[in-house]
């Protein structure tokens, strides 16, 4: 079988893997293994109200993070770029910390916090962080300037969220849970929001896939081929922010999925950005759903933070990649 025939089957194999993991996710809960085909009323309610939205939400959040990671790595021509590169994670953490610190401060502040919610605060914080990054970088004309601005914004906002947490010790447990990530509170509304966001961001990214191919040859070459670099960067930054913000707002900070999924796709053979942008979400969705199943099964009826599982698996994979295939971690020249 040729390499082209193998890569042509990858989307279908990844879809089948996702369906198999979804069936497994429906069968594993806080009490361990319980067959999803049981027909009792209580089991049907558990499946429909808890396990189904949680499993679908985990897959969708993983797909969003993987798509954002593929965009970031193509945009910055850096294989170590991840969805949180522009300060999204620090901004989301700061938004959640401010929200929780406001609760109990005054009746008006408490009412506002309850109206906004952790999801709204995380998304707003992530969006504001990227806007601040763009402001400091004076737009998206220079990739290196944008990258450095993102690092600075992430450090400053991360320090701000840490300071607020230290000043309000009662929110420390909730902040730790947010920073380690969890899919336990994902409902059907969250699944719908993430699915629509994934569809929108995927369409935008695919529309810019040829520009990313040209950009991989260098900015000068891309400009000579007619690519409008500033417009393409702004469009991709918007898609990156929306995808990352939606996933973080619903599931917290989940590490390594957006970084590892594009590397896994590339390890199966050379791909264009169009194919990478299609395969990375399928891979990321399967990764996060598998990690979520492990997180709720290992020490059931208790759960491990899903971010801890993805960190262990993703870090181990990158260490193996660094020693066995160091050329795959080299940046584009």
Span 208-226, pLDDT tens digits: 999 998 988 887 888 887 8
Q: What is the mean pLDDT of residues 33-53?
A: 73
* Pairwise CA distance, residues 9 & 269, whole Å: 12
How far out from the chain centre does Cα 316 lie?
19
Sign of CA dihedral 80, 81, 82, 87: positive
Instruction: Decide if pLDDT at 10 tops 50.
Output: yes
Which of the two residues, 90 and 79, has the higher pLDDT score?
90
Instruction: Decide if pLDDT at 22 tops 70.
Output: yes
Domain span at residue 102?
3-329
In the chain, alpha helices (H):
3-27, 41-46, 52-76, 88-102, 107-136, 143-167, 172-180, 188-207, 209-215, 219-224, 229-251, 257-267, 273-297, 306-324
Contacts of 157 (CB under 8 A, 6+ apart): 87, 90, 91, 93, 94, 125, 129
> Residue 333: pLDDT band by 50, 70, 90 thresholds?
very low
**What was the pLDDT predicted at 25?**
87
**What was the pLDDT predicted at 34?**
65
Q: For 126-172, give the DSSP string.
A: HHHHHHHHHHHTTSSS-HHHHHHHHHHHHHHHHHHHHHHHHH-GGGH
Using a pLDDT cut of 90, give the percent of the chain over it: 41
**What was the pLDDT predicted at 221?**
82
Q: Please answer whether residues 144 and 151 qualify as being in contact, where contact means their C-beta atoms are separated by less than 8 angstroms.
A: no
C-alpha distances in angstroms, 107 versus 95, 101, 114, 119, 171? 19, 13, 11, 20, 18
> Residue 121: pLDDT band by 50, 70, 90 thresholds?
confident
Instruction: Decide if pLDDT at 268 tops 70.
Output: yes
pTM of the predicted model over 0.75 = yes
Q: What is the mean pLDDT of residues 226-239?
A: 87
**What was the pLDDT predicted at 242?**
93
> Residue 262: pLDDT band by 50, 70, 90 thresholds?
very high
Strand partners, 29: 32
5-19, 98-112, 261-275, 294-308 — which one is most confidently predicted on average?
A: 261-275
Burial label, 323 (beta-carbon count in 10 A; 0-12, 13-18, 19+): exposed
Which of the two residues, 38 and 163, has the higher pLDDT score?
163
The C-alpha angle with vertex 148 and arms to 228 and 333, in degrees rounded to 5, equals 60
Instruction: Decide if pLDDT at 243 tops 90.
Output: yes
* Pairwise CA distance, residues 272 & 211, whole Å: 11
The token pair at 308 is 């801890």
The token pair at 199 is 């569809």
**What was the pLDDT predicted at 111?**
66
Name the domain count of the chain. 1
Q: What is the mean pLDDT of residues 272-296?
A: 93
Among 95-109, 151-165, 258-272, the range scoring the smallest mean pLDDT is 95-109
Map tokens 């590339």 to a residue: 266
Which of the two residues, 14 and 104, has the higher pLDDT score?
14
**What was the pLDDT predicted at 161?**
92
**What was the pLDDT predicted at 328?**
57
Assign 28 to helix, strand or coil: strand
Which of the two residues, 256 and 48, has the higher pLDDT score?
256
Which of the two residues, 333 and 38, has the higher pLDDT score?
38
Dump pLDDT digits (tens) for 55-70: 999 999 999 999 999 9
Contacts of 104 (CB under 8 A, 6+ apart): 110
Q: For 242-285, give the DSSP string.
A: HHHHHHHHHH----SHHHHHHHHHHHTS---HHHHHHHHHHHHH
Q: What is the mean pLDDT of residues 273-292?
A: 94
**What was the pLDDT predicted at 62?**
96
* Pairwise CA distance, residues 323 & 315, whole Å: 13
Instruction: Decide if pLDDT at 240 tops 70.
Output: yes
> Residue 191: pLDDT band by 50, 70, 90 thresholds?
very high
* Pairwise CA distance, residues 277 & 270, whole Å: 13
- Biggest alpha carbon distance in the chain? 67
**What was the pLDDT predicted at 246?**
92
Using a pLDDT cut of 70, give the percent of the chain over it: 88
- Phi and psi torsions of 128, nearest 5°: -65, -35
Query: CATH number for the domain including 314?
Result: 1.10.3470.10
The token pair at 277 is 């942008």
Q: What is the mean pLDDT of residues 138-143?
A: 76
């Amino acid at each position: 079988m040729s390499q082209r025939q193998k890569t042509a089957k990858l989307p279908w194999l990844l879809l089948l893997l996702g369906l198999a993991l979804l069936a497994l996710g429906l069968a594993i809960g806080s009490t361990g293994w319980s067959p999803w085909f049981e027909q009792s009323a209580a089991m049907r309610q558990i499946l429909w109200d808890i396990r189904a939205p949680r499993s679908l939400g985990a897959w969708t959040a993983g797909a969003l993070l993987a798509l954002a990671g593929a965009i970031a790595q193509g945009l910055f021509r850096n294989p170590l770029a991840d969805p949180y590169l522009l300060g999204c994670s620090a901004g989301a953490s700061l938004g959640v910390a401010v929200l929780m610190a406001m609760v109990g401060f005054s009746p008006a502040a408490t009412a506002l916090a309850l109206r906004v919610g952790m999801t709204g605060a995380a998304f707003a914080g992530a969006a504001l962080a990227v806007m601040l990054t763009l402001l400091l970088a004076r737009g998206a004309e220079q990739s290196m300037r944008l990258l450095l601005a993102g690092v600075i914004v992430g450090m400053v906002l991360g320090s701000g969220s840490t300071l607020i947490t230290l000043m309000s010790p009662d929110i420390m447990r909730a902040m730790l849970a947010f920073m380690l990530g969890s899919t336990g509170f994902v409902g059907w509304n969250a699944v719908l929001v993430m699915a629509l966001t994934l569809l929108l961001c995927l369409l935008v990214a695919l529309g810019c896939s040829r520009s990313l191919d040209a950009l991989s040859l260098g900015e000068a070459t891309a400009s000579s081929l007619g690519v409008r670099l500033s417009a393409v960067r702004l469009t991709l930054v918007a898609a990156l922010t929306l995808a990352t913000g939606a996933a973080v707002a619903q599931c917290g900070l989940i590490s390594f999925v957006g970084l590892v999924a594009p590397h896994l796709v590339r390890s199966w053979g050379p791909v264009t950005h169009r194919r990478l942008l299609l395969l990375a979400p399928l891979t990321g969705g399967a990764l996060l759903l598998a990690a979520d199943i492990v997180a709720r099964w290992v020490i059931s009826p208790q759960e491990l933070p899903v971010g801890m599982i993805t960190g262990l698996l993703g870090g181990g994979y990158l260490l193996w990649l660094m020693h066995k295939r160091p050329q795959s971690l080299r940046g584009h020249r």
